[in-house]
Amino acid sequence: MNSRSVDLYWLERHPNASEALSVISKSPEPTLDALHGVVGKYLDFLQVNRADKLLQRILAGSPPPAVGSKPLRFAILSTSTADHLLPAIRVAGWRRSQIIETHTGEYGQYLQELENPHSDVIKFKPDVMLLVFHAQHLIGNSALTLTHQEADAYVESILERIRTVWRLAKSRFQGQLIQQTIIPTYLPLVGSNEQRLPGSPMRLVARINHALGALADAEGVDLFTIDAQIARDGIDAWHDTALWHRAKQEISPRAAPAYADHLLRLVMAQRGRSAKCLVLDLDNTLWGGVIGDDGLEGIKLGQGSAIGEAYIAFQSFVRDLSRRGIILAVCSKNDVANARLPFEQHPEMLLKLTDIACFIANWDDKATNIRQIAAQLNIGLDSLVFVDDNPFERNIVRRELPMIAVPELPEEPALYGQCIADAGYFEALQVTSDDFQRNGQYLANAERDRLRASHTDLKGYLKSLEMELRWQAFDAVGLQRIVQLINKTNQFNLTTRRYTEAEVQAIIDEPRALTLQIRLLDKFGDNGIIGIVIGLPEADALRLDTWLMSCRVLGRQVEEATMNLVVERARSMGVRRLIGEYIPTKKNGMVKEHYRKLGFLPLDNVADTLADGATTWEHRIDSYTPFETSISTVQGMTHG
């Protein structure tokens, strides 16, 4: 029953995926777009294998992918068979519009491959490396009779082995390192109180999996906690002992699509491609019944009925998501007064209007309204998840806006929350204090918009905001948020260079580098860290390796104030020129003219060496006149 999660039940079903694949395969010119239409829906493992063959065939015969969709290089080093997982990983990638090239190390040879700087896996230059160790490989055969103290030491020694492998891997490549937790395949020998046998292999595996969390955090490694998923679904959904003996497949082929889906969440989260906003329908989604027909007393919400309690539980889950940084929006076909009524007056309503960053209720079609929501919140359409109990509305939105995630919501409201959680739309790799304040920040933006409407001139409006820009070089306190912004900012990002925590630390340790974290405060509150600049020394110049900002603060002269700051810092470092770079992606077209607007001149002579329409720019420090802004600039920041 629960193994439906292995069948990715939140994905839309294709009426006949096998036939659709055959049609594409037999067409004279099969295209990636046509294939995308099929792999966006659920495919079983056989269909996934076929879709992958087709994908590889199309890629082999087509020109290199367009700007911004650079293939991602994914390597697995595993002590069990992993080849059968690769097609699913590549297809799960294309489901997310990401081309993936894969590489598997020699079966069980991970140490040799990592120790040798010229091994195939190192030469492959992976962007992502996944490490998989099976239980017997780590535990061995001699643990059973260990005493408590010996078992403790044994667990420590195994963790130390794993740490050594991680450090070796990190010395060999710069990308994202993912460790899969150990699949709990050992059987119980004692029973419920397995802990009374300190050397029980099953118990040792559980202890190692538990301890990996802290170890991974300390070492900057991301965990793929397959053991937690197995605890929810049951091991039979994921692992087939007979197949383990027959082919050393630790993950059953049937579970390969689910395995890949879970894995890709981590990979996409690292690249800022997780969803950011939950768009909610109201009637029969947040409460039972129709507010316009049933009225405040008639809708089912809260204690007293099982259905009413199910909706409250869903609201509670949604509110928790919002508290950890997911933006909430409402998109409802209703009169706006009716739609707001339960939020304002229903005593059991958990979600309040202040939890909703963008509230749209009218009789327009939902696709139009969802576009409006994305525009108002200034986030990409592909970072929205749309939740609606009505299959008709879901299908319209899917057809009009295929980039939006629209889960197949179960009919039972008690399962709404589980469906959204199982689908993993909001996978995150860090949670920072800024996340906790996110919804408040978007609400304050709405306040700012109102203030703006009351001012006839932009200058007067900006002055009335009483903005203060606080800056500081990168530091340990801000590190997590800095890494998060570097990895998830897509739109206002000049170069879209992604860095791991270790790489950012290396930049901090470079004395001639300029690092700026920038915070913006105004009369409505603290916007959190909204800007990151990294400048790297290059002869008499400073090359602006990274310049990114949160889209929340656009149109408030923050770019100009930041430029003033960058020039001032560069001057104090004895630098004579600034060099700016723009590397286009699918998403950062808005900053194409960023450096020109800031008075940089294009450097044409190097254009030949640049790929994909990238541009470089130069600004001399001695000819710089600071921009006039309504922002006061202050050094030092209090971290919220």
Applying CB under 8 A, which residues contact other proteins? 18, 22, 25, 44-47, 49-50, 53, 83-84, 240, 242-243, 245-247, 249, 252-254
- Smallest separation, CB 50 to other proteins (Å): 5
- Residue 176: which H helix or E strand, with range? strand 176-180
Q: H/E element holding 394?
A: helix 391-400
Q: How far is the CB of 112 from other proteins (least distance, A)?
A: 24
User: Closer CB to other proteins, residue 83 or residue 344?
Assistant: 83
DSSP state, residue 314:
H
Residue with Cβ nearer other proteins (22 or 354): 22
The CA distance from 625 to 464, in Å, is 25
| Cβ-contact 441, 524 below 8 angstroms | no
Closest CB to other proteins among residues 249, 588: 249
Rounded to a whole number of angstroms, the minimum distance from the CB of residue 21 to other proteins is 9
Residue 21 is encoded by which pair of tokens? 């694949």
**Smallest separation (angstroms) from other proteins to the CB of 437:** 47
| Residue 616 structure tokens | 């470089």
* Closest CB 245 distance from other proteins, rounded Å: 7
Q: How far is the CB of 226 from other proteins (least distance, A)?
A: 19
CB nearer to other proteins: pick between 83 and 365: 83
Number of H helices, E strands in the chain: 25, 17
Output 240 or 388, the one with its CB closest to other proteins: 240
Least gap, CB of 73 to other proteins (angstroms): 23
Partners of 581 in the β-ladder: 616
Beta-strand pair 525-538/541-549:
antiparallel
Strands 128-132 and 176-180: parallel
Of all residues in the chain, what percent are helix, strand and coil, respectively (each to 5)? 50, 15, 35
Q: Which of residues 83 and 152 has its CB atom nearest to other proteins in the complex?
A: 83
Query: Rounded distance, CA 456 to CA 85, Å?
Result: 60
Query: Which SS3 state, helix, strand or coil, does residue 315 take?
Result: helix
- Rounded least distance, CB 504 to other proteins, Å: 42
Quick count: other Cβ atoms within 10 Å of Cβ 305?
Answer: 12
When the beta carbons of 81 and 383 are compared against other proteins, the nearer one is: 81
Bridge partner residues of 515 (DSSP): 534
Alpha carbon distance 605, 616 (integer Å)? 9
Question: Residue 17 or 591: which CB sits closer to other proteins?
Answer: 17
